[in-house]
Structure 1
Amino acid sequence: MRSARLRRTRRASAVTLVSAMTLTALAACGTSSSSDDGGTSQPTGSSDASAPLDPKTKVTITIDCMPPAAKAAELKEWKEDVAEFNKTYPNVTIEGRSTPGQCLEPPRFTAMLKAKSQPDVFYTYFTDLPQVLSEDGAEDISAYVNDKTVPLLKDIDPNVLGSLKQDGKLYGLPTSNYTMGLLVNRKLFEDAGLDPDSPP
């Protein structure tokens, strides 16, 4: 129970952005895959970026923020999630990256973007989209996001989803969100001669 809560906390202030590398692989556009006989990698799939990936194509993607071994419970959940994913997509190999210290460390994240060394899938603050796009660090995933690929898509707050869009293109999916508000002490407002029903 505690580890699940910790995982939700870790994801609470982050969104998932998919880098250009991942989308190229998912679109099978000039990407390479290993042949079953261990031969040389060859480009596979269609040259159309919107075409679905051949289910038999072998793809490897890297994902940031894998829990370190010291966080055994969280790492166990991570592995369970990967195993569940691989039941549907056995052709996709997921390589988790565990980062010492805080996963969502802004200076480290900026350095990764500048060096073009970010993983294929990474977490970032929703306010980071302009920085990510200015470094050409993410690809438009609009063609891959629908009610079938994201069953609860309609349940996502449109404003939250909108924060991950630019020029009508979607560059990421939220893992969670929070809402900020202002609480008014009615008595103090009234004592100050203000109307608590019409706060500033």
Structure 2
Amino acid sequence: MAAKFTSESRRKLALVIGIGDYENVRKLKNPQNDAKALSSLLQRIRFTTADQQLDTTRSQLKHVLVDFEESVQSNDIVLFYFAGHGVQWEDQNYLLPKDFPDMDAADAKEKAEFLNKNAINVQDILNKLSDRKPYVIILLLDCSRQHFLRNIDLNKRALNANESRSVELTAMHKADSLIAFSCAPGALVDDRSEEQNSLFMKHLL
């Protein structure tokens, strides 16, 4: 007879990442506060949280992600949260680690390779978590989504937040997953307010 799982019996796992002290791109003041606040909330609702990852490099993030992905078991409830800078190249979303280089140094034709080498592809995270067959995957991405396209004219339009919606971008998807961005494609998160937490986190809490 197949085992029955209830919300109480399922494991709840979370990985929370906050990066604000960037070395080569604009620093952000809220991600660390947001990561700490969410970790505290998740612990109160009985999530098992990995150690908070604050201001981590790409190498460190890769190791943390592998450990987290390998810890996921069938029927787990899995939550992944990232606060920091994000970039969208055509239909792929990337999360930027602390040591992400200046992207302006990359030629337009080389940007995909540049991002794959120096950033973290969100779809890859989703795919690897999904392969573990959890009950549900929740991705909360509190980051800007400035995006770049191969077509130069479209790329110029994409940098203008008022026109970004006119550019077609393929949405990420996976069965039994919930993906929430803090802003629309092409938009930048406002990190200049006097609030201790981002608007996204303020409403999550």
Q: Same fold (TM over 0.5)?
A: no
TM-score by length of 1: 0.32
TM-score by length of 2: 0.32
- Higher-Rg structure is 1
More strand as a share of residues: 2
Higher RCO (CA-CA < 8 Å; seq separation 6+): 1
